[in-house]
Amino acid sequence: MPPQQVEELLQVLSKGIRATQLYLPNNPVYQRAVDNIRASFRQIWQATDDLVFDVGETELRWEDNVVYNQEQRTESIA
């Protein structure tokens, strides 16, 4: 599996987390965010059974590749 696929998953997850914090569950933006997260995870689970990350202060690494980086700690999921 290419690192870009894991990177995309984490971007979708980060955006989805933000959307679920900002909107109520009956809002279409919230629902679309949850659907996007599910779809991204579905693609990952078709390729592998697990994801193991090395967690840093501002980044996540997967198989020695930086797949998520956010310098602002308050915005980071790492």
- Domain positions in the chain are 3-69
Gyration radius of the chain's alpha carbons:
13
Pairwise CA distance, residues 23 & 29, whole Å: 7
pLDDT of residue 67: 97
pLDDT tens digit sequence for 5-48: 999 999 999 999 999 999 999 999 999 999 999 999 999 999 99
pTM for the whole thing?
0.87
Residue in the block written with tokens 């290419």: 2
Q: For residues 9 and 40, is the Cβ–Cβ distance under 8 A?
A: yes
Tell me the pLDDT band of 68, cut-offs 50, 70 and 90: very high
